[in-house]
A = this chain, B = another copy of it.
Amino acid sequence: MTSSVLPVAPTRGRLRPLGLDEVRITGGFWARRRHTNTTATLDHCRDWMDRVGWTGNFRAAVEGRIQRDRRGREFADSEVYKLLEAMAWEAANGDGAALDAGITALTDLVAPAQEPDGYLSTAFGRPGQPARYSDLEEGHELYCQGHLVQAGVAQARARGEGELAKIAQRAADHVCATFGPGGIESVCGHPQIESALVELARLTGRQRYLDQAALFVERRGHGTLTEGEFGAAYFQDDVPVRRATVLRGHAVRALYLAAGAVDVAVETGDEELLAAVVRQWEVTVARRTYLTGGMGSHHRDEAFGTDFVLPPDRAYSETCAGVASVMLGWRLLLATGEPRFADLVERTLFNVVATSPSEDGRSFFYANTLHRRHRGIAPPPDLDSPRADSGLRAPWFAVSCCPTNVARTLAQLPAYLATADDEGLQLHQYADADIATTLTGGRGVALRVRTDYPSGGTVTVRIGRAPADPWTLSLRVPAWAAGAPAWLVDPDGVRRPADPGTATVTRVFRPGDEIRLELPVAPRWIGADPRIDAVRGTVAVQRGPLVYCAESVDLPDGHEVDAVRVDTSVDPVDGPDGTGGPDGGTEGTVVVAGEVGAGPRMGRSEAAWPYEPLGQAAEARPAAPTGIVLVPYHSWAERGPSTMRVWLPTTDGSPAAATEVPDSGTDTGR
């Protein structure tokens, strides 16, 4: 029996997802963030959209004054739909009634703006506005309607058929009528409609939506769109999906398209297409992904760089690209069952998705740099911010895709924890959770997961209900655990090594049985492939799935992070408060050996030419060895403006650091 409350509901594939009615997160790292999401972020997004006029656009459209009064960019409608999607999934988890009222209010705002043929946009098609689909490259009409369809699907699955789902289906019918065979032979500059239409096909069983999604995927890559400033690769119109070898161009577009292609491939049994996306994912992860899981090295076009061009200080690593990577990874995991996809989902959730929102859920990083040289300036609390500044989180952006994307991801997060198949149940992500589902053959199982992961590495699974015959419980052993011992302890207390990949116990389980996974979360030095020019001679620290960073607020004497050199001959250790915190938040520090600041290099003046023959340098005057506190990357910039770096130069790899260099100018441009 399959749950209906599924963010992604493939009709086939290696693993069967569990629904939001089958998995509840009950405590820990993600429970806190999900609580903040429901109690703060959803209202925050609604308030800001009212304030900046994006909700008002729908009213202005109905009242015939949209050409004068419209606010926001072409894609502002989509934020309203993404918020609706987030609210729907949250309603399935928690206090449904309160959220239902909010959903109804927003739906009542949107509904009258839909035109009789199903088309819905506040930016095109009305008197005084550009004609419908007159700017497929940047108009985002299909993108917006795709998010509307996605919201409708969420509403239907989470709360049962309702008005929003009907609006969504009418919009989808319009899209199929307009872009189907005989219609406009093009695609949207920003993919999104593809996966939405597949999900609607899954919900309704109507082949038409799947066919249209497949058509959009196949049409792309043939130079259909008019090339703009950034070329056809920007919107993946350079190479057809099934022929591409790597993700490229605008990162969010590339990842949304890949996710949609997987959906199409799974539903149509198109193994070639699926294999093409898997291949692209592999190369992208091996050559174009930051340690955090972040994707995108270019600011100007929000795009992937070329292979191994991953400068930490220029990391764009857009929050939405993190969300999109989780979407893609989850689909690939369901299709293939391979734990490597869950590995990247985990890394990206902890280090990109969790980094974006502030602790209070009311400000966000749009881009997620890995190296901040100059302290940011706090954005004015009542103004929307330029999107790409990475100095401090901002409450809202002129392009504000990230807050609602974080919200809808946290809302559906419980569904990413576990799956089932004919053999049993698989745990992919670890959090305090109660899970109950029905295995093949009507065999009910229930289990309770308890852990302080990622602060601690022990995950205990207690069986609450189980069938009388044997089944298999599988637990992902993360790839980050490689090289240190991990253990699986079965209900009989038998302890065996658990190599990265999947650890399984197959047996008859009885209520009260406990299975324990022990993962080596002790902090470790991480090195990078030498082909990544930008981090040569530096190291990073990872503790379990969490990437750590040095932040200036933790350094002595007002030093900035660029004064830090670390000594990799000494292993990093947990700080005095290391695992004391419940969730590896700012309290979960790590301490490394190193030095902070040193005498001016080579005895020269600060105004000396910075290049000189090797071997002619006078001895550097090293600073006294000291312990340097690192904090989880996701927690940085919570204590005011600071400088930060993930990749730390080593004391042995290069001469000692100079004393803090006061910046002698402003950071203009990029």
A interface residues, Cβ below 8 angstroms from B: 230-231, 233-234, 238, 245-249, 282-283, 285-287, 289, 291, 298, 300-301, 303-309, 311, 313, 371, 373-374, 479, 482-483, 524-534, 536-540, 562, 568, 601, 606-617, 649, 653-658, 661, 663-670
Contact = CB atoms under 8 A, between A and B. Distances in A.
A410 B651 CA distance: 45
4 A-B pairs with least C-beta separation: A537-B537, A529-B610, A536-B537, A301-B669
29 contacts: A230-B668, A231-B668, A245-B664, A248-B668, A283-B607, A285-B609, A287-B664, A298-B668, A298-B669, A301-B668, A306-B663, A306-B666, A308-B661, A309-B313, A313-B533, A483-B613, A483-B616, A525-B613, A526-B612, A528-B610, A529-B658, A530-B601, A530-B658, A536-B649, A536-B653, A537-B537, A537-B653, A537-B654, A653-B653
Contacts of A531: 562, 601, 610, 657-658, 661
A283 B568 CA distance: 33
A527 B230 contact: no
Contact of A534 (B311, B539, B568): B311
A246 B665 CA distance: 7
Given A231-B666, A247-B665, A483-B616, 8 more contacts: A287-B664, A298-B670, A307-B663, A313-B533, A536-B649, A537-B654, A539-B614, A568-B614
Which secondary structure dominates where chain A touches chain B?
loop
A669 B616 CA distance: 40
Nearest to A605: B286
Given A482-B612, A612-B482, A534 B533 contact: yes
A248 B286 contact: no
B668 A234 contact: yes
A156 B305 CA distance: 52
Instruction: State how many copies of this chain the complex holds.
Output: 2
Given A306-B374, A482-B612, A610-B308, A233 B670 contact: no
Contact of A373 (B309, B371, B525): B309
Given A298-B670, A536-B649, A665 B248 contact: yes
B231 A532 contact: no
B536 A538 contact: yes
A229 B209 CA distance: 43
A670 B297 CA distance: 9
A311 B526 CA distance: 23
A653 B10 CA distance: 49
Contacts of A309: 313, 373
A611 to B, nearest CB: 5
A306 B609 contact: no
A248 B533 contact: no
Contacts of A311: 311, 534
A539 B653 CA distance: 13
A133 to B, nearest CB: 25
Nearest to A547: B611
Contacts of A246: 664-665
B373 A306 contact: yes
A479 B530 contact: no
Contacts of A282: 607
Given A307-B661, A309-B313, A233 B536 contact: no
B482 A529 contact: no
Contacts of A610: 286-287, 289, 308, 528-529, 531-532
A115 to B, nearest CB: 36
B669 A303 contact: yes
B286 A230 contact: no
B669 A230 contact: yes
A104 B82 CA distance: 68
B601 A667 contact: no
A668 B539 CA distance: 28
Contacts of A308: 562, 610, 661
A55 B652 CA distance: 59
B613 A482 contact: yes
B664 A307 contact: yes
A313 B233 CA distance: 21
A664 B249 CA distance: 12
Contacts of A536: 536-538, 649, 653-654
Contacts of A658: 529-531
A526 B611 contact: yes
Contacts of A374: 306
Contact of A613 (B306, B524, B532, B653): B524
Contacts of A653: 536-537, 653
B665 A233 contact: yes
Given A482-B616, A668-B231, A534 B537 contact: no
Contacts of A534: 311, 533-534
A300 B300 CA distance: 9
Contacts of A611: 291, 526-529, 540
A535 to B, nearest CB: 8
A529 B669 CA distance: 24
B614 A525 contact: yes
A658 B531 CA distance: 8
- Highest count of chain B CB atoms <10 Å: which of A230, A373, A666: A666
- Highest count of chain B CB atoms <10 Å: which of A286, A313, A530: A530
A453 to B, nearest CB: 19
Contacts of A568: 614
A234 B653 CA distance: 36
A399 to B, nearest CB: 16
Nearest to A602: B529
Given A306-B373, A661-B307, A249 B613 contact: no
A295 to B, nearest CB: 13
A473 to B, nearest CB: 26
Contacts of A539: 614
Contacts of A303: 668-669
Contacts of A247: 665
